[in-house]
Structure formats: C-alpha cells, structure tokens
Structure 1
Amino acid sequence: MSATAQILTFSETSSDAARVVGVHTSSIPPTTPSLIPADAVLLRLLAFPINPQDLMAIAGRYPVKPVHHHADQPIPGNDGVARVEAVGAAVKHLQPGDHVIPKRHGLGTWRSHAVLPAADLLKVPAAIEPAAASLLKMGAAPAYLLLEDMRALKPGDWVVLNAGRGVIPQMVTQFARIRGCRTISVIRARGDFEAVAEALREIGADVVVSEEQLEQAGVTAHPELQAAVEQNRVVLALDAVFGASGERLAALLAPDGTFVNYGSLGGADGVLRLSQQTLFWKQIKFRNFRLSQQFGLRSVPEQESLLGWFGELLLQGRLKTPVVEKVAWDQGSGAADLSETVKRSLQLATEKPLGVKKQVFVAQV
C-alpha cells in the first residue's frame, strides 16, 4: 500500500470543474481499530465515476453539498465502490475485505482512502468488477426504479428513452427486456451511428433512431416505431435531456401515457413546451424522478437485497455493464501527473463531446 492517500477537492464553486479541482496528498489513516472511530470504517476506494450530479455540486447547483473537507476545501464525489480495510470497535455488520458503496450523497468519494460512518454504507457483492460496482447506485438502481415505480408496466408495453447510450438508459433497456417490455432508444446522429445502434440492439433495444430522424420524420422514422405509436403501445417516456428532445418523446406517448424527467443533459435552463393535445386530449401524466426519494422508500435490508440482485444479474451475464472509459487512478504517480489525468477526464465529462463515454476512475491496486 502506498504511504500516502490522494484526495480531490475543489477550491471554489465553478462550472469549469477542471479549473477548480485539485489533487492533495495526506497520510493514510491508521488501520488499528482502536484509532478508528467506533462507528466508522477505513475504506480504500476502488472505483468512482464522474456523474452529472458531481459536476452540479462543484458548480454549486446541486442541493446536496459535500459533507467532508480537506484543507478547508470540499471533497466531491457521490458514488463509487470501496473495500473495507479496517472497522471501528462498534461496527458489527462489516468486516475487512467487504465491498461497500455510499448510502447517501455528499460523502466525498473522489479520494483514495476515507474514514466514514458504517451507517452511511451499503454492502455489495465483492465479486463484481469495481467499475461495474461503482455504477450500481447511480446507474442500475435508477434504471430499475424508473421502470418499477413510475408506471405499471406489462409485457409488450413500449418504453421510449433519450440519451440512449448513457449508463442509465443502457441499464433501462436491459431491465425492460428482462420484464418483457420493448424499447425505443433515441441517440444523437454520429458517424458511427450504425455501430452504436447495433451495440444497443445487442443489449435489448428494439428500435434505435437519432434525434435528427425523429425531428424530421416523427413516427415514420422507423416502421416498428410507427406501428407501436399507432397501436398506442408506447406508455412510458424516460427523459434525461429535457427541452426539445423531451418534447419529441412526449409526442410519441399513447393516451394516458407517463412522461418522466430524471435529468437535464441538454442544460439546466431548458424548457419543455406542452401542446394541448399532449396535456388535455391525451392526458399525459408528467412526473419527475429523484433517486434519493425512490430508493429511500426501501428499507436498508431491501436496498441491500436490490443491489445484491443487480450484482447477481451482472455475474450471471443477464445484465451487461455499460461501456465506460476506465481512467487509471495510479496512486504511485505524482500529484502533478494525477492532476493532469483528472483535468482531462473532467473536461470530457463537462464538455460532453459526441461519443464520449462516462469517465470512471479505477484504482491501480
């Protein structure tokens, strides 16, 4: 184990995360149980993603603020997976070697080591590959709950979603297939459109169309899409973008359908316009989704059972890990080298160039 821990903090709130996030080093907390708070555990972070919520927190636009600080600066990071290195005297449900993820936001996962209250952690199967495990809470859980809680679905129902190549949409596509539903995945036009579309079809997407095709041709953009709309089978729209993209999804819904917004990839200031046909004649229901709210409806044992089931699906191959960009978090490298790596990943996550994958830091242990 390296003699030093590495910690990311941000010096001020800014929409330019790459500018304000910096790397710090510190001594690793001792593993002696008597030196760890009785109700806490020492963790070694194995993987953590850059999520939109993290960037919003750094920009000062997310309601949950970082709880922990280093050198008087907030430590960002809401998600990730860690290995328990040592436990406090009062901790009974965790032991060294267990893998855990955060139970709540704001715990500051962007670091190599952390001492956190055991009550703030959920145990997950240690056999899951770290990058995949780091996506369980903010990837698999919202995808499952969007289908489970937002609308009663039956086999044969159709779900339409945008940002189809994102982590949550890829998970939604797979969970929909498991429950016998069909999906329309909307993505942006690109040079490798067919290759991306084929990859989405391989995990269960029935129809893949581009935003541009949908804007220009509407329901006639694809024969199966047209049939599903004409037969009033599209009952759920899952919007991660908002604005014009969300409007196009709403237009495909059957009467009494449900529209759910759970993200604002198109910009937090976006506007979604409603037509009288959508609101009055078709009586579409509009809902928002917050993971903390829906996940919080479950007890801790229920949450752990759900995460364990996701893990089983991954290990059985019934659920595929979304393709992400694994970024090596090399604790043996100097702070300057790590800082450059972090800045590159933050720039990609912030600017979101077409085709960029979710950035996931993976510890080299």
Structure 2
Amino acid sequence: MSQPPKRARYHQRGPVPQDVIAAETFELPPLPLPAGVARVAVLAAPINPSDVLTLTGEYGLLPPLPAVGGNEGVGRVLDVAADVTGLAPGTLVLLPVGCGSWSTHLDLPAKSLVPLPDGVDPVQVSMLTVNPPTALLMLRDFVDLQPGDWVIQNAANSAVGGYLVQLAKLRGINTINVVRRASAIDAVVAAGAEHVIVDAEDLPKRVREKVGDVPIRLGIDCVGGVSTENLARCLAEGGTVVNYGAMSGERCMISPRYFVFRDITLRGFWLSQWFKKASAEQRRAVFAEIGGLIAEGKLSARIQATYSIDHIKDAVAAAASGARDGKIVVEPNGPPRAAI
C-alpha cells in the first residue's frame, strides 16, 4: 500500500458543510481479517444531498459523532477472512448503505457486500442504492401510471430528476420537467427530457401552452415552498403530489382549497422508510432492475466532476452548490477526473 489509508471524517456539524469535514489518515487493523469480514478498496462514492444535510445536521437520521461521510459506493475486494466463501479478492462489490464510504478502505461484513459484474462503470454503479430507487419508487408506487400518461417534476436537473426522466421514458410515460433557473435547461434536455420549463407563479399556464390540456395525475416535488403549490395547480382533479425534499429550505406551501375542492393529495417519500418496510425480496427486485439498466447503459447520471479523498472539502462545497449540472463523486483511491 503506497499511500496510508485515508477517510473523510467529521467531529461536529455546522452550517457550512465543507468546513466540518476533512481527510484524515488512519491505520487498518492487521491481517488476518476476523471471521466473516472482507477488506475493500473503495473505488467511487457519490455525494448526495442527504450527505450534505447530514453534515449540517438537518437530515432526518444523524449518525453519532465522530463519523465518516458517505452512504453508498462501490469497491473492489482486497482480502477476505478464511471462513468467507463465494467472494474472491478482485470482485467488484456494491457497498452497504450507511457504511461511511468516503474512505480509501473499509473492513465490512462479507455478507453485506453485493457482487457486481466486471465491465460496469464503477462511478455510475456507485449511485445505485439511493437516487435511482427513489426515482423508480416515486414513479411506480403512488399513482398507477400507464404508457402515454403524464408526470410533472421540479428539480428536474437533480440526480433523481435525471433518473426519473430516463425511467419514465423506458415505461412510455411523458414528463414535464421544471427547473429553477434557465441555465439548467440545456442539461435537462441533454439527459433526454423533451419538455422543460422554469418554475414561476404562472407555471400551470405555461405547462398548458407547451403540452396542451393533458391530464397530469402525479407531481414530484423536491423543492418545497410555493413550488409545491405550483405543481399541485398543474394536476388533474384527484392528482397526487409526492414530496421528497426541500431544496428551497422552506416547508411545503399549498392552499387547503386544492385539498378540498380538487381532491389533491400531498404525500411524502423517504427511501430509508421504504427500506424499513420492504421485504428482502422487494429490495432485491428493485436493485436488480436498476442494476440491469445501468449495466446495459440504459440508465446513467451526468457527472460534473470527481475528486480524490484529499480534496473532500472542495468536493462537498461543489455538491452543496445550487449551480451544479451533474453529480459530484469521490474516488478515494484515484485522482480527480474531468467532468463527463
């Protein structure tokens, strides 16, 4: 091992996420590994909005301090304990959620690692466990959409938004994609979206001008504030708004008249809650569907830049920026890479 192991660790939380995290060297336990354990070199780990909110203390589930950042990722097995079977060194593996993936090396229970086929892009598959399932489940589980139906989403330039566009297209579902700034339109169109609109108070009028008076039964909201009501006003009677975030920093605002007179429903979605309730078979089915699409090149995320572990402060600052047009990914064992 030419360089000492490093991990991105934080000892406190604060309003500026990059200020509380730093790369630290650490010592790996000596070999041989304890029973049931595998040692993994982490190849890629994304920075999700939930990771940033964890650093600021605003997320719904906070680990005890000190903690290592990162909730998902991909690695390659370096060594396994003598009793571990079916997991050979060199195997590409999906890391368990919440493992502290912003680290060059991890010792993990071998049974928690999911083997992946060789030949897949580690950066793309490192994002398999959070954003793609969020997009798939919101698109699938709240409203029974059929080919030809319509869905409207805001934060369409987010990672979840990009996955939702691709998954909807694969299912023959039409999307109307709302962004908060005109400069984000090109990136959303490049991701395959046909209809992209900048959010404003007259959103329903401009939606009708663009696609006509089509019945929209599902709205996906990641912004909160008045944007929640803007989406609700675009929906047909009996429609559903699903909120999964508050990028505006504001609570969802929606007039009671939309609940009372138009029978609009407002629901919330948090993947962690789904994981708690879903059976092992349901989880495997979702990951198998998403993993297959990523491996086939039918599902991907735009990457703005990747960073080494030594540049974790810059990486977190970039991820926290509201002007991104792609995902920020940490490559703990590799050099920074140009944006894709």
Provide the secondary structure at the position in 2 that maps to 1:132: helix
**Does the 8 A contact of 2:131 with 2:159 survive in 1?**
yes
Structure-to-structure mapping, 1:91-130, within 5 angstroms? 91-105=84-98, 107-130=99-122
Equivalent of 1:80, from 66, 69, 73? 73
Choose 94-103 or 12-21, whichever is displaced more: 94-103
Residue of structure 2 aligned with 1:323, choices 302, 318, 324: 302
Q: Name 1:8's counterpart in structure 2.
A: 8
Distance 1:305 1:93 in 2: 21
Runs of 4+ in structure 1 over 6 Å off: none
Structure 2 CA distance for aligned equivalents of residues 297 and 221 of structure 1:
36
After superposition, the C-alpha distances for 1:296-353 in whole angstroms (9 at most, x for unaligned) are: 444435434432332322232322x2212232327xxxxxxx2xx2222222222x24
CA distance in 1: counterparts of 2:117 and 2:278, whole angstroms: 19
Matched, 1:24 2:32: no
Distance between the aligned counterparts of 2:189 and 2:3, measured in 1?
46
- Equivalent in the alignment of 2:338: none
Aligned to 1:150: 142
Distance in 2 (alpha carbons) for counterparts of 1:91 and 1:64: 32
After TM superposition, the structure 1 stretch with the greater mean CA deviation from structure 2, 156-165 or 321-330, is 321-330
The one of 59, 64, 80 aligned to 2:61: 64
Q: Which has the higher helix share?
A: 1
State TM-score, norm by structure 2.
0.89
Contact conserved, 2:15 with 2:56, CA < 8 A, in 1? yes
Q: How many residues align?
A: 334
**In the aligned structure 2, how far is the partner of 1:353 from the partner of 1:143?**
20
Give the direction of change, closer, same or farther, for the CA distance of 1:86–1:299 in structure 2 (3 Å limit).
Answer: farther
AA partner of residue 187 (structure 2): V
- 2:129 is paired with a residue of what secondary structure? helix
Does the alignment pair 1:45 with 2:42? Answer: yes
Partner Cα distance (1:149, 1:192) in 2: 28
Contact 1:49 1:135 in 2 (8 A): yes
Residue in structure 2 matched with residue 252 of structure 1 by the alignment? 234
How far did residue 104 of structure 1 move?
Answer: 3.1
- Closer, same or farther in 2 for the Cα pair 1:93/1:254, shift >3 Å? farther
Q: Structure 2: which amino acid aligns with 1:211?
A: D
Do 1:209 and 1:222's aligned partners in 2 also have CA atoms closer than 8 Å? no
1:358 paired residue number: 327
- Give CA deviations for 1:175-198 in whole Å, capped at 9, x if unaligned: 1111111100111223464x3353
What is the CA-CA distance between 1:356 and the residue it aligns to?
4.6
Alignment match, 1:335: none
Q: 1:135 aligns with which of 122, 127, 130?
A: 127
Q: Hey, what's the Cα distance between the residues in 1 that align with 2:52 and 2:23?
A: 16
8 A Cα contact 1:104 1:120, kept in partner: no
Q: Distance in 1 between matches of 2:34 and 2:139?
A: 40
Gaps of 5+ in 1: 331-337
**Equivalents in 2 of 1:299, 1:128: separation in Å?**
27
Q: Structure 1 residues 90, 264: closer, same or farther in 2, change over 3 A? A: farther
Q: In the alignment, residue 319 of structure 2 is paired with which amino acid? A: A
Q: Is 1:285 matched with 2:265?
A: yes
Matched residue SS, 2:245 = coil
Q: Of residues 246, 249, 255 in structure 2, which corresponds to 1:275? A: 255
* Map of 2:153 onto structure 1: 161
Residue segments in structure 2 that go unaligned for 5+ positions in a row: 336-340
Deviations 1:211-249 (A, max 9, x none): 14xx24532355343422xxxx21111111111122211
Which residue of structure 2 lines up, in the alignment, with residue 263 of structure 1? 245
Which TM-score applies when normalising by structure 1?
0.84
Query: 2:211 aligned with 1:225, yes or no?
Result: yes
- CA shift at 1:206, angstroms? 3.3
Q: Look up the SS of the partner of 1:27 in the other structure.
A: coil
Map 1:186-197 onto structure 2 (within 5 A). Answer: 186-191=178-183, 193=185, 195-197=186-188
Change in Cα spacing, 1:156 to 1:192, as seen in structure 2 (3 Å) is: closer
More moved, 79-88 vs 38-47? 79-88
Shift in Å at residue 357 of structure 1? 2.9
Deviations 1:150-204 (A, max 9, x none): 22111111111011111111101111111111100111223464x335314xx2x
